[in-house]
Structure 1
Amino acid sequence: MKDLKAVVLAAGEGKRLRPLTFTRPKHMIPVGGKPLLEHHLKALKDCGIEEVLLVVGYKSNNIKKYFEEGSRLSVKIKYLHQKKIMGTADAFKLAEDYVDEDFLATYGDLLVSSKIVKSTLNMHLKEKPAATLTTVEVSNPEQYGVIMLNGNNVTGIIEKPDPGTVRSRQINAGIYVFSSEIFKAIKQTGISKRGEREITDSIKMLIKRGEKVIATRAPSEEWLDVGRPWDLLKANIRVLDKLKSNIAGTIEDGVRLEGPVYIGKGAIICSGTYIKGPVYVGEESNIGPNSCIKPYSSIGRKANINSGVEVKNSILLDGVNVGHGSYISDSIIGEGCDFGAGTIIANQRLDEKKMGIREKKVNTELRRIGIVVGDHVKTGINALFMPGVKVGHYSWIGPNIVVYRDVPPNTSMILRQEIQLVSIEDEER
C-alpha cells in the first residue's frame, strides 16, 4: 500500500460548526489535544499511506502552517487548492494528474480508525472494482446518503431519503478507493440541486455504465462524522479513551491524579488539584490550585485554570483563562477566551428533556449540553450561560448576566440596572 496515494478533502468551511469555524477550518478544531485532521491523517499513515494530496480551500493557511510538507506525521503532503467550493466530485478531480491507477479518497472531517481504512483498501485490491465504498450502519440514515446493496455490490445511492422510505441503514462513510475510471464519470457528472458536483452522483454514473462498485461494512464505533458541535465532544471522548498517561510537566505536592492523564511539557499542576482521567493538559498550561478536572476534558496549550475551577467533558482551546470559582461542563471554548471569576455554564434542563443547539433548534439527542464559544470571548464576574447557547468570537459578556440566547460575533452584552439611592434618616439607624 506504500505506493498508493490518498486524496483527502479539507476545503470546506464547516458552517454547522460556527462560531468555531469563523476563525479556522473545521478540520483544525482540536479533539484530544490535536486537530481533527491530524487524527485522520495518522489513521492513513498507520495503513501504510506515505503520500497525501490534501485538497484545501477555506482558511487553507491554517492547515498549511500546521502540517507544512508532512514531516510532523512522516508523510509527504502536496496541497491542491479548490478555489471555489463546487462539491466533492470537483474536489477529487483536482487530483487527476497526481494519482496512479488506484487511489484512496477520504473526507478529512472524519474520525476513523486505521482498521476500517485498511479493510476498504484490502477489499479493493482483492476485487479490483471501479470503486470501493465504506458503509456504516446508523440509526438515522435519513441524514446521510443511504447505500443500497445486493451482497457487497452497490446498486444505488439515495441522498437523505425521507424517514421510513428505505430499509437500508447502511450509509456512505466518506471513505473510498477509486480506479481512474472515476475521473471519466466525474467529467460526465452534472450540477446537483445544491449547485455542486457530488462524488456520489459520479459513483451512480459508474453503476449506470455497468462498472463494478462494491462496499465494505465498517463498525460504527470506529467511525464518526464530525459535523456539529456535539460531534466534537463525541470525538474528544473517543480519542481520550485511547489516551496513555504521560507526565512531562510539574506536579506540585498535594495533587491527586487518577486514570490516564497527559500533562504537557512546561505545564504546572498546582497543589490541591484533583484530575481524574482521561484528561489532556497541553504544554505550558497552569491548573489550580485546588481545581477539579474531570474525565474527558481536553485543555490546550498555555491555558490558565485558576483556583476552585471545575472542568468536565469539555474542550478548551489554546490560551484560555478561566477565573476562580468557575464551572465549565459539556462545552467547547475557543482560543484565547477569558472568563471572569464565577462564570457558570449550565448543562441540563430541569425537566431533563433532550436539548438542542439554538439558532435552528437542532436536537442534540443529549441530556447534557453546555455552550459553544468562539475565539477571544470575555466574560465578567458571575456570568451565567444557559444550555445550548452559542457565543460568537470577540464578544464581551458583562458581569451578572444570564445568557439564554445566542450572541453574535463582535457583540457586547451588558446588563443595565436601575439603581435607587435612598437617604437613611437618623431615626432609622
Structure 2
Amino acid sequence: MDVIILAAGRGTRMCPLTDGAPKPMLPVADRPLAAHVADAAVSAGAEKLVFTVGYRSTDVESFFGTEYGGVPVEYAHQPTRSGTADAVAMAVTHVDGAFAVLNGDNVYDAANLARLFEHVPAVGYTRVSDPSAYGVVSTDGGTVTGIVEKPANPPSNLANTGAYAFPDGARKLLDVQESERGERELTDVLGRLVDRETVTAVEFDSWADVAYPWDLLSANEQALESLERAVNGAVHADASLRGRVTVEAGATIDAGVVVDGPVLIRDGATIGPNAYIRGPTVVGPDAAVGHAVEVKNSLLLSGASANHLSYVGDSILGPGANLGAGTVTANLRHDDEPVHAGDDDRPTNRRKFGAVIGPGVKTGINTSLQPGVMLSTDTWTKPGEVVDADR
C-alpha cells in the first residue's frame, strides 16, 4: 500500500505556533506530528510515503528526506491550498494501484491503519461526543452510506478520522467541484465512491485530531504515556528524578531539581538549579527552566526559556519565547468551568489550561497571564502586567 500524507497546510487555527513551522511539523514528544503518522503508516505496511507539501515545504522535506522507516519517500507540491481532494490529485501520480490517504496532523494507531489497508475501499471512523466539528460518517451494517462535512445536525456520532483506503479507480473521481467552503473536499470524493462501490467503515479505537494548540498539549500527554525512563544527560547528584523521566544526551540537570515523570527533557535543555517539573511535560531542545521555576503539564518548544521564579502550568511556550522573572500562567477558572481560548472564545474542554505563548514572545517581570490567553509571535508585555485578552 502506497500512502499519501497530507502536509501542505499552514494550520491557521494553530497560530501563533505555526508562524514558523507547518502544523504537521509541530513536535509531539521527541519528533514531529507527521513523523508519528509516518511511523504508524510504515508499521501498518506502507511501501512508499508521498507527502503533499506546500507551506514551508522544506521543513517537511529536510526532515523526511528520500527514505524514512526503510521505505522510499516522495513529495508532491500543492502551490495553492485548494482542499484535500486537490492535495490528493497532486500526489496520485506518485502512487501505483490502490492507495491510502492520511491527514498529516492526526494521531493514528498502526493496528487500526493495518485494518484499514486490508479493506479497500474503506474509511476510518471513531465515536465522538460532539460530531458537529468533524466530517460525519453514516453507516449500515459496516458499510459507509454517506459522509457530510461539519453538519449542524449530525446524522450519527461517527467522526471521519481523515484516513482512507482508495482503489486505483478512485483517482478518476478526484475532479470534484468546490464546496460551500471554497475547497475541493476529499469527503466529496468519498461520496462519489460510495455511489459506485461498497465502502467499508473501519472503526478506530484510538485517534486524535490536532486542530488547536490545546490539542497539541493533549497529543503530547498521550505520547508520554509510553515514555520509558532513560537518563543519558548530565544529572547533578543532588537532583531527584522520579518515575518515567527521559533525559536525552546533551541535556543538563543542576542541583536541587525535582522531576516527577512522565517528563521528556530534550538534547541541549538546561534545568535548574532548584526547579520543579511535573509531568506530563516536554522540555524541548535547548530550552531552559531556571531557578525556582515550576513547570507542570506543559510543552516548551526549542529554545524557550523560563529562567527565574516563574510558574508555567498547562501551557505551551513557542520557540525562543522568554518569560521574565515572576511570570505566572494562571490555568484554572474560579467558577471551575472549562477554559476558553482563541479569537472565537472556543471552549478547550479542559478544566485546566494556561497560555499559548508564541515564538519570540518576551514577558516583563511579574507578568500574570490569565487562563486561555494567547500571545502572538514576538509580542512583549510590560513589567507587572495582568494580561486577560489575546494580543
Question: Where on the TM-score scale, by shorter chain, does this alignment land: which range?
Answer: over 0.9
User: Offset at 1:256?
Assistant: 1.0
**1:231-250 alignment, distance < 5 Å:** 231-250=215-234
SS at match of 1:80: strand
Contact 2:75 2:91 in 1 (8 A): no
User: Offset at 1:68?
Assistant: 2.1
User: Which ranges of 4 or more aligned residues in structure 1 deviate by more than 3 Å?
Assistant: none
**1:43-54 alignment, distance < 5 Å:** 43-54=40-51
Q: Answer yes or no: is 1:406 the counterpart of 2:390.
A: yes
Task: Determine which of 203, 208, 213 is the counterpart of 1:217.
Answer: 203
Question: How many percent of aligned residue pairs carry the same amino acid?
Answer: 37
Q: Deviations over 1:58-103 (max 9, x none)?
A: 11122122222234x3332111100011111111112222211111
Task: Determine which of 262, 268, 277 is the counterpart of 1:293.
Answer: 277
**TM-score normalised by L of structure 2:** 0.97
User: Offset at 1:40?
Assistant: 1.1
**1:46-65 alignment, distance < 5 Å:** 46-65=43-62
- Give the equivalent residue in structure 2 for 1:266: 250
- Give the equivalent residue in structure 1 for 2:126: 136
Counterpart CA distance in 1 for 2:324 and 2:228 is 33
- Give the equivalent residue in structure 1 for 2:332: 348
SS at match of 1:96: helix
Contact 1:119 1:216 in 2 (8 A): yes
User: Offset at 1:396?
Assistant: 1.3
Q: Which runs of 5+ in 2 are unaligned?
A: none
- Give the equivalent residue in structure 1 for 2:117: 121
Instruction: Return the letter of the residue paired with 1:207.
Output: V
Instruction: Return the letter of the residue paired with 2:333.
Output: R
Task: Determine which of 212, 233, 244 is the counterpart of 1:228.
Answer: 212
Q: Answer yes or no: is 1:198 the counterpart of 2:177.
A: no
Contact 1:323 1:343 in 2 (8 A): no
Contact 1:372 1:391 in 2 (8 A): yes
Instruction: Return the letter of the residue paired with 1:145.
Output: G
Contact 1:323 1:342 in 2 (8 A): no
Contact 1:31 1:315 in 2 (8 A): no
**TM-score normalised by L of structure 1:** 0.89
Give aligned pairs, total: 391
User: Offset at 1:158?
Assistant: 2.0
- Give the equivalent residue in structure 2 for 1:378: 362
SS at match of 2:91: coil
Counterpart CA distance in 1 for 2:125 and 2:352 is 29
Counterpart CA distance in 1 for 2:200 and 2:86 is 22
**1:68-87 alignment, distance < 5 Å:** 68-71=65-68, 73-87=69-83
User: Offset at 1:305?
Assistant: 0.9
Q: Which runs of 5+ in 1 are unaligned?
A: 125-130, 408-429
Q: Answer yes or no: is 1:171 the counterpart of 2:167.
A: no
Counterpart CA distance in 2 for 1:320 and 1:279 is 16
Task: Determine which of 136, 140, 143 is the counterpart of 1:153.
Answer: 143
Contact 2:148 2:187 in 1 (8 A): no
Counterpart CA distance in 2 for 1:100 and 1:234 is 36
Counterpart CA distance in 2 for 1:191 and 1:67 is 31
User: Offset at 1:285?
Assistant: 1.1
Contact 1:309 1:327 in 2 (8 A): yes
Larger-Rg structure: 1
Counterpart CA distance in 1 for 2:47 and 2:295 is 38
**1:333-372 alignment, distance < 5 Å:** 333-372=317-356
Contact 2:4 2:49 in 1 (8 A): yes
Q: Answer yes or no: is 1:26 the counterpart of 2:16.
A: no
Counterpart CA distance in 2 for 1:230 and 1:339 is 20
User: Offset at 1:160?
Assistant: 1.7
User: Offset at 1:395?
Assistant: 1.5
- Give the equivalent residue in structure 2 for 1:127: none
- Give the equivalent residue in structure 1 for 2:169: 181
Task: Determine which of 106, 110, 124 is the counterpart of 1:110.
Answer: 106
Counterpart CA distance in 2 for 1:284 and 1:184 is 50
